Chain A
């Protein structure tokens, strides 16, 4: 008992001393119920700065639910009960005094299906800065260009910024959504299966983008695609039936999983 308790602590200390990265999200004893259904059970996870953290697991394991708590989008669902604590930069986001708009300004989100607004490409990217009070056209133009460049979309759309966003292909739309998210210069980017609706080439582009973005942002990505998790993430959390079965550096999870269930899942024996 004592041995199992001590050894992970040593491991954490080791990792911290090597990387010296700050913790972005500290989740402790998080539980969530959808009505009677216990969807997340005693989750404890620490997510570090400037890393890509992948969350994998079969459908219905609670991975998207967990992601939606991190920017409190879960509040849009009715009949949800949450206990526990999630510290974002040392402040409990589940505290009622934490203004949800403030949180979402720092924590951006990219959704499963590209969901650009029915506006021009320019207006899509300028939306965030505008709602937060930036009116100066020159500043807005600079933000739009910078964000589109960061999302590797600028060269494809620079001549047609005033066209409707729906004229873009699915992959371009998803990169536009990433650009829209970058425009408010968030600290963390949450991605909920961002490539599941895209073709392989668009998927590759997004993956490369994610690798590039982690230099400046902390990224948490939910994915069904295990190769994707292996390719782009630093750490991987494996969720099953609302529990975190294993959370470790990605290379470890995929080469030497500790838990039998993790091994079964990543080798494709179920899920």
Chain B
């Protein structure tokens, strides 16, 4: 008695192979769909904005006349914002993740905190704007400043960084930790010398993703009261400022066609800034990997 009837199995073999091929085509199409949309988007923006993108555009203050208008204040504003958000959110986020993954006991309270951090990542950004307005702008009397906006944005991206860092720490094999502990290393020595160097690439990937979100976010800044038009530079982190997405939003709302092209040029600047941040992350990653 044979359970395995080779004849009928061979007869169905063709169908199985075709289903397999079909699956491959579907997945490829899904990938191509995203790639195509991205390509169209990039083409439209670059073809529209590239003509306006020059040194004068980067160095000029915004103006009512499109040929004189530039992104100088918004660019500096975005860079300043990042200068606050990056250190605050990365330090707080990574420290929180280290505590949760390495030090905290695996009990219900820790589980409760972890679930809530994941939930926070899904809270609409405008809610963080309201929080920032109440706490930083009003209660702490920071006003509509770089610092207040930076702290608000840090809160916004903190859950993303914490979750990414937690995943990166979890991915470090337990056998490495055990080897270090078995040598008489303390937890702190193990974290600094073994766990973090292995986890840094993953942490940075999550960090860059979070900072990319912060640099493109507009909603919470609108709530904080950032101006759409600002013709002077902030002197310190306590001054009024504006950022690239606000400036772009301002320009797209104008009736004149030239301003729409300026908006496209502004988007290119934003994209270049993003690429530059990614480049920095790669540099830091390489530096850490060279240590061993």
Contacts and interface: CB of A to CB of B under 8 A. Distances in A.
Interface of A: 71, 73, 76, 78, 101-105, 108-109, 111, 113, 115-120, 123, 127-128, 131-132, 164, 177, 180-181, 184
A73 B292 contact: no
Given A115-B175, A115-B178, A127 B193 contact: yes
A244 B184 CA distance: 29
A113 B184 contact: no
Interface string B181-205: 1111110010001100110000000
Contacts of B176: 115, 117-118
A153 to B, nearest CB: 17
Contacts of B32: none
Interface residues of B, number: 21
Contacts of B282: none
A76 B181 contact: yes
A117 B194 contact: yes
Interface string B260-292: 000000000000000000000000000000011
A102 B184 contact: yes
Given A120-B292, A131-B189, A184 B179 contact: no
Interface in B163-181: 173, 175-176, 178-181
B181 to A, nearest CB: 7
B257 interface: no
Contacts of B180: 117, 127, 131
A120 B245 CA distance: 46
B193 A104 contact: no
Nearest to B194: A117
A111 B175 contact: yes
B178 A111 contact: yes
A117 B176 CA distance: 6
A105 B181 contact: no
B182 A104 contact: yes
B5 interface: no
Nearest to B197: A118
B181 A73 contact: yes
Given A118-B292, A119-B292, A128-B183, A113 B175 contact: yes
B184 A184 contact: yes
A111 B178 CA distance: 9
- 8 tightest Cβ-Cβ pairs between the two chains A and B: A119-B292, A105-B184, A115-B175, A109-B182, A104-B184, A128-B183, A101-B184, A131-B185
B106 interface: yes
Which of B105, B197, B291, B292 has the most chain A CB within a 10 Å cutoff? B292
Contacts of A131: 180, 183-186, 189, 193
B219 to A, nearest CB: 42
A222 to B, nearest CB: 14
Contacts of B179: 111, 115-117, 177, 180
B182 A117 contact: no
A44 to B, nearest CB: 25
7 contacts: A104-B181, A108-B182, A108-B183, A118-B198, A120-B292, A123-B292, A127-B193
